[in-house]
Structure 1
Amino acid sequence: MTEIEWRRRWKPDLTSIPWQPLNIDGDVYLIKCKFTQNSYELLLTNLKSFWYEELSENALKKRVQKLNPSIEASVSRILDQIKNCLESQEKGTSITIGFKDKEEENSKMVLKINSQLAGLPFCWDFVGNSADKEMASENLIVPLMAMVGELTRRQRELIKILQNKDKEIEDYKSQGGKTTRKHIETQEFVETAFENTMLMSKGFEEEVKSFGSSAFDDSGQDLYRQIMTKHSWLHRQKNDTETESSSLDEEELPVNDTSDQGRKPSTGTSWGSSRLPPSVTGPPSQKSPNKSPASSKSNTPDTSPIKDTELMRRQALERRLESDEAKKHEKTKKKKKMAF
């Protein structure tokens, strides 16, 4: 399976969802949520403690009835409302946070949302318990280290490009080339001078004051998402290859059950005259093309009419399965567009 095919089938987990800054009463938190049609996962941190909650459909319905008894809406509509409140924070939406104990580190976190749904007051409580250290590591620490490493690699590549550009410009100048406008002329790039300038710049001071609050702006979120997707691909590539190989081996075994229901679509090429399954070809010693159809059915399944019929049936089945798979992908895409 190629990486492109894998990406189309892959369903991201919580670790692959990028962090988003959440400003609550002047304090900046980082939050990430994974929503499905009937459940959600939430992870929240203030960079000192981490809180996590996972809510399934039944528990979600009970909380809706408790907090919003006058609202009748589907679970997916409720989840849409919660997600919109967290992402947009439109006018009329308030978000507050509290802790059940004075010690934040070991206490339950309650994130309260107050907004309106179809003109009616709507409130929601996220109730998070302290997350374990492993979850904190795999969702923030390790991805941040990977992001720093990737940005450092990109900086080295950009420096090489600038140095090559300087060589190219010097070559043009040696041949008498000149800029048409004086103000667009640039000085030769010197890496050490550039680094010193950055250290003394106002922007460096502002970035240190913010202490990384801009790490998950739009570009940072995209980089996080791409790194974690690539990590999942590299981590699961071996398992996917083994699964695919096992699936192909199973397809090459003799098929005793003629039922087509529940059969998975083939991951390999379609059956052709040059590659027929043993259930169609049979052992070479059993070939008896001169026998009648009646005797062939009882002894050898390798007469030409049966072979053609079996081949046509398999090809028709594969076409139908491929068509069903394409329809499923199309429905999934439409749902994703309409979801939130």
Structure 2
Amino acid sequence: MWKNLHKALPYYLLFIKDEYFEISITDYVKIWIVRLNLDEFTSHLKESNLGLEIHSNELIENGIHMLLYPEELKSATVSNKEDKLEVTLCKSFGYPLKFKVLLSIGSQELFFQKIIQPLLKTIQDLHSSESELRSILKNKDKEIEEYKLEAGEICLRYLKTKPFNDKAHMEKHYRYDNYFGSATIPDGLLDKSVDIPKETMVKRDIKSEPTSQVIENDPVIPKVEIKEEHIKIEPQSALPVKRRKIRLNI
């Protein structure tokens, strides 16, 4: 279930724990994701809480609790770094506990799988529910009219409801028809499975933090380029010497 990361932030978090610890965050325009194994998840928690002496099991349990119940967080900060999203969560467990992690931006396929497809399924479900309830209400009104025609009386006069006005109801709730018309959302789209290799996602996410370190150490790069140019110059300086030897022989 997607949950608001923090009431002051326009981000939503989805946490899934199976073979990996999968953390997804979206602003409903983009999606970011990271997948960590147990050792990586534990390492992130320890690096986020240097100096905190606590048993690993308790650390992991509390870390999972932070991600499952973001509404209980004391604070949360989000920072965009190009195609990365740095997130820091903080919660009190009798002591302050932090969790800092870097997420990578997800593909369009991932956005469809995590955001669009669930929304389409929800819309379809609500539309089916509405249609069913409208049908029940109209049938109930028919039954009441038939009851009245047979000289039946409704005792609870003051609690009687007005007959259901289907036309007025649909004029008020028109958005589904505006976007989808009389057509239903295709089952093929609702059941579509998008192939996102887990191995690729894991490798990319594991490299995300070292990549940020390389960016911070950019001043080293010019030195490497200078060395390469210097190596190229050395063979050129040897050419004139060779020519002089040839002239002397002549």
1:250-275 CA-partner distances (Å, limit 9, x unpaired): xxxxxxxxxxxxxxxxxxxxxxxxxx
Q: Count residues with an aligned counterpart.
A: 177
Of the candidates 32, 39, 64, which is equivalent to residue 45 of structure 2?
A: 64
Which residue is 1:134 aligned to? Answer: 109
What secondary structure does 1:28 align onto? coil
Which residue is 2:99 aligned to? Answer: 124
Which residue is 1:78 aligned to? Answer: 59
- 2:5 aligned with 1:22: yes
* Change in CA separation of 1:181 and 1:21 when aligned onto 2, cut-off 3 Å: same
What secondary structure does 1:42 align onto? strand
* Change in CA separation of 1:65 and 1:85 when aligned onto 2, cut-off 3 Å: closer
1:56-106 CA-partner distances (Å, limit 9, x unpaired): 12212322332223232234x334323333415337x211111224xxxxx
Structure 1 Cα separation of the partners of residues 25 and 34 of structure 2: 9
Structure 2 Cα separation of the partners of residues 129 and 170 of structure 1: 61
- The aligned amino acid for 1:188 is P
What secondary structure does 2:72 align onto? coil
Which residue is 2:231 aligned to? Answer: none
Q: TM-score, normalised by structure 2?
A: 0.62
Task: Structure 2 unaligned segments of length 5 or more: list them.
Answer: 176-189, 194-250
1:138-160 CA-partner distances (Å, limit 9, x unpaired): 11112211221121111111111
Greater CA radius of gyration, 1 or 2?
Answer: 2
Whether the 8 Å contact between 1:24 and 1:95 is mirrored in structure 2 is no
1:155-213 CA-partner distances (Å, limit 9, x unpaired): 111111111101111121112222222222222223112223457xxxx9xxxxxxxxx
Structure 2 Cα separation of the partners of residues 51 and 24 of structure 1: 19
What secondary structure does 1:72 align onto? coil
Of the candidates 146, 160, 170, which is equivalent to residue 145 of structure 2?
A: 170
- Aligned pairs for 1:186-225 (under 5 A) are 186-198=161-173
- 2:33 aligned with 1:33: no
Whether the 8 Å contact between 1:35 and 1:79 is mirrored in structure 2 is no
Which residue is 1:179 aligned to? Answer: 154
Which residue is 1:99 aligned to? Answer: 80
Which residue is 2:87 aligned to? Answer: 111
Which residue is 1:271 aligned to? Answer: none
* Change in CA separation of 1:58 and 1:24 when aligned onto 2, cut-off 3 Å: same
Which residue is 1:145 aligned to? Answer: 120
Structure 2 Cα separation of the partners of residues 159 and 55 of structure 1: 47
- Aligned-residue Cα RMSD (Å) equals 2.6
What secondary structure does 1:64 align onto? helix
What secondary structure does 1:44 align onto? strand
Structure 2 Cα separation of the partners of residues 32 and 141 of structure 1: 14
1:116-138 CA-partner distances (Å, limit 9, x unpaired): 34x33311112100011111101
Shift of 1:109: 0.6
Between the aligned residues of both structures, percent identity stands at 22
* Change in CA separation of 1:79 and 1:170 when aligned onto 2, cut-off 3 Å: farther
Structure 2 Cα separation of the partners of residues 116 and 82 of structure 1: 11
Moved over 4 A (4+): none
Which residue is 1:219 aligned to? Answer: none
* Change in CA separation of 1:88 and 1:135 when aligned onto 2, cut-off 3 Å: closer
- Aligned pairs for 1:251-270 (under 5 A) are none
Structure 1 Cα separation of the partners of residues 102 and 125 of structure 2: 35
Whether the 8 Å contact between 2:12 and 2:25 is mirrored in structure 1 is yes
Of the candidates 42, 65, 68, which is equivalent to residue 23 of structure 2?
A: 42
Structure 1 Cα separation of the partners of residues 172 and 41 of structure 2: 54
Task: Structure 1 unaligned segments of length 5 or more: list them.
Answer: 1-17, 102-106, 205-229, 236-340
